[in-house]
Chains A and B, each alone.
Chain A
């Protein structure tokens, strides 16, 4: 079955880079996502990557995908205190179910120290 695994906690200093890692099991996933959750709020999409891509960059965010190892990472450059949040990795269910379901990891809490 589908499973998405993340480490639970990461602490960095302001200005450093943060790297959050994720592994998934469904090799047929077509899209992989990163969502951010701030305290008391719902999840917000940060970025997503199509499975035929190796890398996607969006301002301070870089997503790397290694399909062979089923490994996804999110790098945040110049991490700021406002980046403190829980980050969720997710994979999409693929056809034939075609239901648009997303399977989420447990979430990584990012703590940014001043």
Chain B
């Protein structure tokens, strides 16, 4: 996972509280993604970014927001966490379309009680 760091790696929180997950890259890649991984569903795209301040929704974006004020940081925010958002969250980066190889972070495990 060289070049991409997620924080925190583990978090337990209560329903209704805000949560922010951070993804930091040192590769200067243009594209950044947030996926969630749940048993039986594989990885599902939440939001992605194709440049500073340029973001768009993925297939499961409800309840999540993102921000990208710098190339190296992509933040995922749960404004009011719910138990259905208990999951493992993965950040990924890529140089863009074409072969578009994604490099993944180690994941952030979030538990909402």
Contact = CB atoms under 8 A, between A and B. Distances in A.
B61 interface: no
Given A42-B1, A43-B43, A88-B43, A102 B102 contact: yes
Nearest to A5: B42
A22 B50 CA distance: 28
A41 B105 CA distance: 8
A106 B41 contact: yes
Interface residues of A, number: 26
A99 interface: yes
Given A42-B90, A42-B106, A43-B90, A95 B97 contact: yes
Contacts, number: 63
Interface of A: 4, 6, 8, 31, 33, 40-45, 48, 50, 88, 92, 95, 98-107
Contacts of B97: 92, 95, 98-100
Interface size class of B (residues with CB under 8 A): 20 to 34
Contact of A100 (B41, B42, B94): B94
18 contacts: A4-B42, A42-B1, A42-B105, A43-B104, A95-B97, A99-B31, A99-B50, A99-B56, A100-B31, A100-B50, A100-B100, A101-B58, A102-B100, A104-B42, A104-B43, A104-B44, A106-B40, A107-B42
A77 to B, nearest CB: 23
Interface of B: 1, 31, 33, 35, 40-45, 48, 50, 56, 58, 90, 92, 94, 96-97, 99-107
9 closest residue pairs by CB, A with B: A42-B104, A106-B42, A104-B43, A104-B42, A43-B104, A100-B100, A100-B97, A100-B31, A42-B106
Contacts of A88: 42-43
Given A99-B50, A107-B42, 18 more contacts: A8-B40, A31-B100, A41-B1, A42-B90, A43-B102, A43-B104, A44-B104, A92-B100, A98-B97, A99-B48, A99-B56, A100-B94, A100-B96, A100-B97, A102-B45, A103-B45, A104-B35, A105-B42
